[in-house]
Amino acid sequence: MSTSPFSIVSFSRENAKAGFCCGVELLDRYFAERAGQDIKRNLARCFVAIDNEEKRIAGYYTLSAAQIPLLEVPDQLARKMPRYDAIPASRIGRLAVDERYQGRGLGSVLIADALKKSSNTAMGVYALLVDAKDHNATAFYQHHGFIPCLGRPQTLFLPLGTIGKL
């Protein structure tokens, strides 16, 4: 029986002091300086992947409530939805992997965890939503089955019904 090399836990102040560096200053600074404030204000929840052997932060992501305008959902999915103006979603606001762990599949692990947490919430959530920061991020999310919103190709979503496919 193999165990995961990572534990995914809720953010704590101790986590933020662990020398995390993903190579994107905005994401590094957010983790070190703002994540705790967003949690206190109930703006987001932050989850961190800890390397079980090295006891260091390998990656993190944030989740918050969101919605997707029904007009931005591709027709083949929108036809199956009630005619509400928007459908409920969870948003990955930030997702980052430390430079030492990039290219090892940790981003996929973080997405799978976000899907699991979104589907286990006490509120109704149809999809996981993300705003990709650039072309590479868009390609990464599309590789994982995320669908671009109509009119906003860098805003993508993944219906929670796909959780079993990851």
Residues 65-78 have a mean pLDDT of 92
| Number of domains composing the chain | 1
- Please report the DSSP string for 50-111 in residue order: EETTT-SEEEEEEEEEEEEEGGGS-HHHHTTS-S-SEEEEEEEEEEEE-GGGTTSSHHHHHH
32: domain CATH number? 3.40.630.30
In a domain, 1, yes or no: no
Q: What is the pLDDT of residue 55?
A: 87
pLDDT digits (tens, 9 = 90+) for 89-145: 999 999 999 999 999 999 999 999 999 999 887 788 999 999 999 999 999 999 999
CA geometry: angle 28, 111, 57, nearest 5 deg: 40
Q: Is 31 domain-assigned?
A: yes
What's the whole-model pTM score?
0.89
| Predicted pLDDT of residue 82 | 85
Q: According to the model, what pLDDT value does residue 1 have?
A: 43
Domain containing 120 equals 6-165
Per-residue confidence (pLDDT) for residue 166, from 0 to 100: 47
Q: Which residues are catalytic?
A: 141
